[in-house]
Amino acid sequence: MKFRILAVTVFAAGMALASATAAPAASPGPLGPVSVVGEGPLAVPNELPGPAGATTQSVTGSGPIGPAGSPVESTPVTGQEAPMFDGGSLTMLYGRTGAQMLSVLLQSKEGGLVVVDGGWEGDADTLLDAIRARGGRVHAWLITHPDFDHAGALYNIIDRQDPGIVIDHIYACLTDTGWYYQVAPDGAPFVDMFRQRLARLPEGTVSEYLPANLLISSPGIGIKVLNNAIFGADDAVNNSSVVYRVTMNGIRILFLGDLARYGGSRLLQDVPPEELRADIVQMAHHGQNGVEEDVYRAIGASVCLWPTPQWLWDNDGGSGTGSGSWRTLETRAWIRKLGITRNYVMKDGDIILR
C-alpha cells in the first residue's frame, strides 16, 4: 500500500521535563504534513520510570548525531507532497506527565472522530481540549488494554460528565476482574475502578467483548479488530492488548497497544498476512519490550508512531543513552534494518499528520 504525504513542519516549544530525558533526533525521508508542538509535563508515577534530573532538547529540524556517529532517526522534515488523509488528520498527543503513554485522535474529512486510549489521568485536560477542538463528539473510543497510561484519561473523563463532549461508544475488551488481581495485583485496583466507571454509562455505550474480525465504523473511518485478546500469557495485561486496524482515506493504521512477544507471535499465527499489512504502525509497548522484529516486517509499514518520551527513546536510566534496562535502542535498530526512515516520536511534541 503506497501513499504520499504533504509536508512536515516541526515546532518544539519550551519542553522542560522534571523527571527524565536526553538526546533527540531526526532523519531524512519524505513525510508530512506534521506539526510537532511540545510542552513541559509534570512527573507522575509510571510503570517505566524515567531518570531524574535530565532536560529535554527541542527539535527544530535536522536531528543531532547519535553516539555511533549516525543520525538518530526521528521526525523527518521534508518538502511538499500530496496530503495523506485528504482533509482528515491523525494526532498523537504529547504526554504531559513525563511518563510513557498512548493518546491518539483520528478525525476524518466527513467529521468522524475516533480516540485511541488517551493516556494517564494527568493527560485528561489536554485530551478534553483536543476533543472539544474537533467538535466534541467521539464516535468510537478504542481502548487497547486497561493500564493506567492508556485508560487513565478516559477513567477521569467519565467521572467529570463534561457536557461539552459526547462519547457514542467505548470499546474495551476486559475479562473477569479477579484475573487482573491474580496476574497484575498492582494494576488490578485501577481495572476494577475503571470497570465501575464504565458501568455508570448508559446501557449500550460500552462493549467489553471484542472478537477478532469485529467491524466498527465512524463517519469516514473504518475499524477492524484483528485479534482475540489473550488472557493468560506471560506479561499478561500487555499481551491482552486489542490490535485495531484503522482505515481512513485508504490509509491503514495499526495500533498494537502494549502487545508483547507472545501476543506478537500469536498475531503472526492467527492473522492472514494481507490483513496485517498497514501503512502506519504504532510501536508496541512504547517501542520497548513489545512485539519482535518479525511482526514489524510482516506489517510492512513505512511510518512508525512512537508513543515514547525522551528517556525511554534513549534508554536512559539516569546515566545517559543506553544506561537503562529497556529495549528501545534494539527496536530502533530493527526499524533501521527494515529501512523505515519515517519515525514520529512523542518526545518531540504533539504529532499531527494531515
pLDDT tens sequence across 246-266: 999 999 999 999 999 999 999
Q: With residue 352 as reference, give the H or E element that holds it.
A: strand 350-353
Residues 52 and 72 sit within 8 Å (Cβ to Cβ)? no
| Domain membership of residue 176 as a residue range | 85-353
> Which grid coordinates belong to 237?
495485561
- Has residue 114 been placed in a domain? yes
Residues 126 and 41 sit within 8 Å (Cβ to Cβ)? no
Coil/strand/helix, residue 100: coil
Residue closest to 97 by CA, chosen among 114, 75, 118: 118
- Has residue 10 been placed in a domain? no
- Has residue 325 been placed in a domain? yes
- Has residue 153 been placed in a domain? yes
- Has residue 128 been placed in a domain? yes
Number of domains, the chain: 1
Residues 226 and 274 sit within 8 Å (Cβ to Cβ)? no
- Cα 316 versus chain centre, distance: 20
Q: What is the pLDDT of residue 233?
A: 66
Q: What is the pLDDT of residue 74?
A: 64
What CATH number does residue 139 fall under?
Answer: 3.60.15.10
- Has residue 244 been placed in a domain? yes
List of the chain residues with pLDDT < 50: 1-33, 35, 37-46, 49, 51-72, 77-81
Q: What is the pLDDT of residue 92?
A: 97
pLDDT tens sequence across 75-95: 554 444 457 999 999 999 999
